[in-house]
Amino acid sequence: MEKMTLNFGENLDNIKKKIEKMREDILKYNQYYYTNNESLISDVEYDNLIKELKELEEEYPQFKNVESPTEKVGATNLRESKFQKVTHKKPMLSLSNTYNEGEIGDFIERVRKLIPEDKELKYALELKLDGLSISVQYEKGKLVRGVTRGDGAIGEDVTENIMEITTIPHELSEPLDLEVRGEIVLPLSNFLKLNEKRMEAGEEVFANPRNAASGTLRQIDSSIIKERGLDSYFYFLVDAEKYGVKTHSESIKFLEKLGFKTTGVCEVLESASKLKKRIDYWEKEKENLDYETDGMVIKVDELELWNILGNTTKSPRWAIAYKFPAKQVTTTMLGVTWQVGRTGKVTPVAELEEVLLSGSKVKRASLHNFHEIERKDIRIGDKVFIEKAAEIIPQVVKSIKEFRDGSEIQIVEPTECPVCQSPVAREEGQVDIKCTNPNCPGKIKGRIEYFVSRDAMNISGFGSKMVEKMLELGFIKNAGDIYNLKSHEEELVKIEKMGKRSVEKLLESIEESKKRDYSKVLYALGIPFIGKYSGKLLANASGNIDKLMNMSIEELIEIDGVGDKGAKAVYDFFRDSENLQLIEVLRGYGLQFAQEVKEEQSSEERIFEGKTFLFTGTLKNFKREEIKEEIEKLGGKNLSAVSKNLDYLIIGEKAGSKLKKAQELGTVKILTEDEFLEICGKK
């Protein structure tokens, strides 16, 4: 790769100014992060900024300053914290990082030089959890205090909040005085659910699980902790030798015995090559975990050697963190396409030179909105970084200005809709622009795609291309017309590539969709701010659509989890004559507009409370979505991969690698579909 050069002009004054500006920016980002739980820039951009500042400070030591954010572990703005400050008995250090597997050998060599030659060396390899670190203290086996890392010397007292994390034991299996350190994380499955809920309530979503965990732990109302499902993993026992253990790996076993949760990964290995092999293994395997890991930690195993090796001011010499390569690549911006969604929102999508990103080919990425394009100064022709966040579509992170040659083209915000050419408008205080034409074909297409999508009416064989074709032929103008497609059967068969059988299948799937629950129908209608989750809440609270239509805004706001914006959107939706007409047409076709009003489920009914499930192979009695719903209805949680956190794997026909993996793990209970039905009381 071409080497990027720092080009700030020769003037020392300019360099000083640049350094000061960088420090100021970092402090601003920190402050936002710790007071508003909001990231103004991506994690990678933040890390790069710190790295760049460090390099400048090293190159120009005359501008070094103890107040610089690079001099502080964690760089927390404690002054802004609403929690009581506590000085750590022993500072909570950081780990020195490497991004290069080759440097693991250098670390081993450095260690070797510092300890007696005849000593046999072994290393413990662990996962590096990407959450926030915590120190927890026990007196006579009882949990007495929890403190965040803060700036490494002083942290925040969050005792009340950690009491709500179910995996942190309140009482140990032995009455000991001790301090343990570990990581608070928000499991990925909970993170996705939380963001979904926030999106539906019109609230800002969390950028990643770490931000969400950090924001959650800092809530004043501690009941939110349990509700969101924070979790903990421990990896460090302070003064471990006091408890009769000789190695770090033994101390981890000891922690497990006392009742702490660990990742279960602490492999003792003796050479750089073995470490690298296992790191490569975990780099792939980490995708199957329900929490985020951003690397591996290598620790000298023998505790006696820790004393010999000691610490630098910031980190111990007996450990190093290897960071996995970021899920980021560079590519070139070829152009921008402006898309119109079902709400009329006009959003920019980057057209890119195709690249491989975390195993999949990518040639389009989100640019969010015009404000983001301006803020990041992204131009057509730019080299850009793109990244993939957990289960989120790729996005353009930043442009690399150093590669510019002057031929780049500035992106302009459209003044008219890219589909129907009507004027666009921006609502007061909003960043998005919207098409003003209520009958814009782009909006109609978006609404129909949404209506037939998997989480809504789940009509198979009705992808984006098909929707386009049907609109083009004039067979459908709104969602109601889908149920009249039967009358076009003959013409459909004649459509290129359709054929008799696929038309029959499509029509069957349309018929079948009439059975979808009332909550799904509510979701499918596409009311702004009403997603999967709030669709269910509205359905449960109203019981039928006539009741829902007649609810006042105040009554709608009362529904727990719906929020002000959602309530207003529902109210307005039912005051639009076109929407009411559509509902009557759908009702006429026999869609579900009522359900039994559900009482709070008793604990007896939530037989799967706290248990996790995954299914694999072909199931006879359920579709994918149906079995997931059944599990959730009974209090269980669906996972997406086999891991140590999985309790049950339900197997259908032709179960393959997931079954093999579960058998290898040995901790997962395997159920046939019939056994599952029996437990649910359906057989």
Which of 37, 133, 331, 399 is close enough to bind ligand IVH by CB under 6 A? 133
Angle subtended at Cα 263 by Cα 91 and Cα 651, rounded to the nearest 5 degrees: 160
Instruction: Give me Rg for the CA atoms of the chain.
Output: 28
Scanning 123-131, 164-172, 336-344, 632-640 for contacts with ligand IVH by CB under 6 A, the matching segment is 123-131
Could you list the beta-strand ranges (E) of 523-655. 612-616, 637-638, 648-651
Q: How far is the CB of 74 from ligand IVH (least distance, A)?
A: 8
- Closest by CA position to 22, among listed 46, 39, 5: 46
Burial class (CB in 10 A: 0-12, 13-18, 19+), 305: buried
Polymer length in residues for the chain? 683
Is residue 123 close enough to count as binding ligand IVH by CB under 6 A? no
Burial 329-353 (b: 16+ CB within 10 A, else e): bbbebeebebebbbebbbbbbbebe
Is residue 251 close enough to count as binding ligand IVH by CB under 6 A? no
If the CB atoms of residues 74 and 446 are measured against ligand IVH, the closer one turns out to be 74
Is residue 516 close enough to count as binding ligand IVH by CB under 6 A? no
Q: Name the pairing type of β-strands 319-323 and 97-98.
A: parallel
User: How close are the terminal C-alpha atoms of the chain, in Å?
Assistant: 62
Which of 75, 129, 470, 530 is close enough to bind ligand IVH by CB under 6 A? 129
Q: How far is the CB of 583 from ligand IVH (least distance, A)?
A: 52
Which of 321, 440, 452, 649 is close enough to bind ligand IVH by CB under 6 A? 321
Is residue 291 close enough to count as binding ligand IVH by CB under 6 A? no
Residues 6+ apart with CB under 8 A from 8: 14, 15, 18
Is residue 190 close enough to count as binding ligand IVH by CB under 6 A? no
Q: How far is the CB of 134 from ligand IVH (least distance, A)?
A: 8
If the CB atoms of residues 95 and 225 are measured against ligand IVH, the closer one turns out to be 95
Judged by CB under 6 A, the chain residues 150 through 179 that form the site for ligand IVH are none
Residues 6+ apart with CB under 8 A from 72: 151, 152
Give me the catalytic one of 3, 64, 90, 128. Answer: 128
Reading the block at residue 164, the tokens are: 């709500």
> Which DSSP state fits 618?
B
Distances (CA, A) of 321 to 120, 190, 294: 22, 27, 10
Residue labelled with tokens 């929407």: 579
Cβ atoms of 290 and 639 closer than 8 Å:
yes
Q: Total binding residues for ligand IVH by CB under 6 A?
A: 14
If the CB atoms of residues 296 and 378 are measured against ligand IVH, the closer one turns out to be 296
Looking at the DSSP assignment, which residues form a beta bridge with residue 569? none
If the CB atoms of residues 295 and 344 are measured against ligand IVH, the closer one turns out to be 295
Is residue 437 close enough to count as binding ligand IVH by CB under 6 A? no
Is residue 643 close enough to count as binding ligand IVH by CB under 6 A? no
Which of 183, 301, 382, 630 is close enough to bind ligand IVH by CB under 6 A? 183
Give the span between the Cα atoms of 119 and 305, in whole angstroms.
9
Which of 169, 316, 381, 617 is close enough to bind ligand IVH by CB under 6 A? 316
Q: Name the pairing type of β-strands 612-616 and 637-638.
A: parallel
Which of 95, 158, 165, 569 is close enough to bind ligand IVH by CB under 6 A? 95
If the CB atoms of residues 249 and 519 are measured against ligand IVH, the closer one turns out to be 249
Judged by CB under 6 A, the chain residues 524 through 543 that form the site for ligand IVH are none
If the CB atoms of residues 94 and 542 are measured against ligand IVH, the closer one turns out to be 94
Q: How far is the CB of 183 from ligand IVH (least distance, A)?
A: 5
Which of 19, 41, 86, 93 is close enough to bind ligand IVH by CB under 6 A? 93
Residues 6+ apart with CB under 8 A from 12: 60
If the CB atoms of residues 37 and 133 are measured against ligand IVH, the closer one turns out to be 133
Is residue 297 close enough to count as binding ligand IVH by CB under 6 A? yes
Reading the block at residue 394, the tokens are: 């790729």
Is residue 289 close enough to count as binding ligand IVH by CB under 6 A? no
Q: How far is the CB of 299 from ligand IVH (least distance, A)?
A: 7
Q: How far is the CB of 148 from ligand IVH (least distance, A)?
A: 10
Is-catalytic flag, 28? no
If the CB atoms of residues 164 and 183 are measured against ligand IVH, the closer one turns out to be 183
Judged by CB under 6 A, the chain residues 230 through 249 that form the site for ligand IVH are 235-236
Scanning 106-114, 246-254, 316-324, 476-484 for contacts with ligand IVH by CB under 6 A, the matching segment is 316-324
Burial class (CB in 10 A: 0-12, 13-18, 19+), 141: middle
Is residue 75 close enough to count as binding ligand IVH by CB under 6 A? no
Give the span between the Cα atoms of 191 and 198, in whole angstroms.
11
For 515, list phi and psi in degrees, rounded to 5.
-85, -10
Is residue 135 close enough to count as binding ligand IVH by CB under 6 A? no
Could you list the beta-strand ranges (E) of 431-590. 433-435
If the CB atoms of residues 324 and 403 are measured against ligand IVH, the closer one turns out to be 324
If the CB atoms of residues 242 and 505 are measured against ligand IVH, the closer one turns out to be 242
Q: Which residue is nearest to ligand IVH (CB)?
A: 133
Please name the residue ranges forming H helices in 37-125: 43-59, 102-114
Q: How far is the CB of 286 from ligand IVH (least distance, A)?
A: 12
Scanning 92-100, 462-470, 628-636, 673-681 for contacts with ligand IVH by CB under 6 A, the matching segment is 92-100
DSSP secondary structure letters along 397-448: EEE-GGG--S--EE----SB-TTT--BEEE-TT-S-EEE--TT-HHHHHHHH
Binding site for ligand IVH (CB under 6 A): 93-95, 126, 128-129, 133, 183, 235-236, 297, 316, 319, 321
Which are the catalytic amino acids? 128
